Structures are given as C-alpha cells and as structure tokens.
Amino acid sequence: MVEIFGFYAHNVDMTGDRPGAQMLHRAAAVLRVVSGESETGLGTGDVADSANLSRSTAHRILSALEEEGLVDYDAGVGRWFLGPELYVLGEIAGTRFDITSHARRVLRQVAHHTGESAFLSVRRGNETVCLIREEGSFPLRSFVLSEGVRFPLGVASAGLAILAFLPEDTVSAYLATSTLEEKWGEQHSAVNIRQRLALTRQRGYSLNPGLIVEGSWGMGAAVFSPSGDPVWAISITGVDSRFPPERVSELGKILLDAAHQLSSAVRQQTSP
C-alpha cells in the first residue's frame, strides 16, 4: 500500500505483472488518487507522489486518460480532476450498482434526526470510499470525511462496521497482513481493532472515539446486499461533546434503523 494524503492506495509497483496489466493497474491507481481530491484537484507532482510513480510516468498516464475523457486538466489552476467520461460510465454502471437515490433519502433523515453530518460509504477491496455526504444542522462539524475520501477497513467507523460483519477468515487474513498501527497509531493494532470489532458485533453499530482526529467522533452501521454481504455503511461524525454515553445509544438505534431501511431498499431494487 502507498500513502495518499494520509490515506492509502494499492501499491502499483507490480513487477510480476505483464506490462499491459501493470499499466492498467497504474492508471487505476491514478484515478483513485485524483478521486480522493475531487473538489480541489491535484497537480501532476502530487499525483506522482501519491501513486508511487515518477513524474514523467504520471504525466504520461494522465495525458492518456485525458484523451479518453477520464480525467480533465484545468490549465488555469494547474490541476487534474475526474473527467466527464467517468460520469457517463458511472451513470451506466449505476443501473446495476447504484443505491444513492435510496441512500440520499435515508441520509437526510439521519442528518435531520441527529443534527450530525451523515455519510454513505462503500467497500472497495480493503478500503471504504465515501460516496455521499449530507450536512447536519449542528454548527460545529467534523470534516474528516467527504466524497471520494478513502480509509482502510477498520479505521473509520464505516470501515469498522463493515469489517465486523465480514467472514472471520477474511477478517483474520486482513488483520494478519495489515500494518495500520504504523500510520494510525497503536489503537489500530490487530488486537485493538479486534476489541472494537467485538463491541461492534455486540451493539450492531461501530464507534470511533476520536481515533483518527482528536475530538472528532464517528459511528457507523453496515448496510447489507441481498446475499447478506456488508457492502456499504451509513455513518455520522461530530465533535466529541455530542457523543455522551446516553446519546451514543440513541444514535446507534437511529443508525441501525437507517441501515435496515437501506438494506431493505437494496433487496427490493434487485428482486425480480
């Protein structure tokens, strides 16, 4: 794994791959890097550093992606953004994978009832990616999470909620090879993560008590596919003063109800 502005992407130095496959892996890594800064964009050097590529290789890949409409270069600010062709492809893929129309309605309800910012994240490999953010009414907010931001499983509340309900062999294999404590601190050792996973299974929802950014708390609940896999998660974030023990229990019930609503909507969407 390589670091992307505090997060991680798949290492693209795959010496065993055929050259064509290696380039595809690198192009995918570049797209993930750019997507992580979808609002502000990234310079070529930033993309190269974050994707573990030389500047010349990164520029060559970005230029090829631009020709295909997959990224867009704003010469005025000297930054790369996701391109219009991705929107078209996303709309097409959405007929099979999109749950955002249902999720936005559920997230608005969560934000309204809690006052906190609410999010939908999806599992992608060993990471979660934030897809949607709905602002809450409380004026003090946490800005740890926004659209396109990725976290390793088990770090943010969404990834903790998803990891807790994956098969045990998947969890064990992931924790056996992860080195999350090197980036995120001792609280993210395999032993400590397993303790939080056990609590998540017991309560049904996850709790992150300021382990990413001090004073910024998060809670999450898994959303399940029709086959019972934890594919998505609904989460909320806020300042620590908003999460006293008695309110945590109340917020957990709201999250679990919202996750159940969305899981049910997914089943209905995919049923014949």
Do 84 and 213 belong together in one domain?
Answer: no
- Domain of residue 70, CATH code: 1.10.10.10
Q: Within 13 A of 6's CA, how many CA atoms are on the CB side?
A: 11
Do 82 and 11 belong together in one domain?
Answer: yes
Chunked in runs of 10, what are the mean pLDDT values of the chain (272 residues)? 35 50 86 79 90 91 91 90 79 61 91 94 90 84 75 95 96 93 92 96 96 92 93 94 94 97 84 52
Provide the Cα torsion 184, 189, 192, 196; round to 10°.
60
Do 64 and 124 belong together in one domain?
Answer: no
User: How high is the pLDDT of residue 260?
Assistant: 96
32/39 Cα distance (integer angstroms) = 14
> For 129, which DSSP code?
E
Residue 219 bridge partners (DSSP) = 207, 236
Do 130 and 259 belong together in one domain?
Answer: yes
Token pair 């396109």 in the structure block, residue: 148
Do 110 and 84 belong together in one domain?
Answer: no
Please state the separation of Cα 181 from the chain's center in Å: 19
Tokens of 58: 């990164």
Do 83 and 114 belong together in one domain?
Answer: no
CB-based contact 45:55 (threshold 8 Å): yes
* Residue-level length of the chain: 272
User: How high is the pLDDT of residue 180?
Assistant: 93
Do 165 and 261 belong together in one domain?
Answer: yes
- Domain of residue 185, CATH code: 3.30.450.40
Amino acid 171 reads V
Tokens of 156: 């943010």
For residue 263, give Cα distances in angstroms to 182, 231, 233.
34, 10, 10
Do 124 and 177 belong together in one domain?
Answer: yes
Domain boundary among 59, 88, 117: 88
User: How high is the pLDDT of residue 268?
Assistant: 79
Residue 232 bridge partners (DSSP) = 122, 223
Domain region containing 192: 99-270
User: How high is the pLDDT of residue 148?
Assistant: 81
In a domain, residue 110? The reply is yes
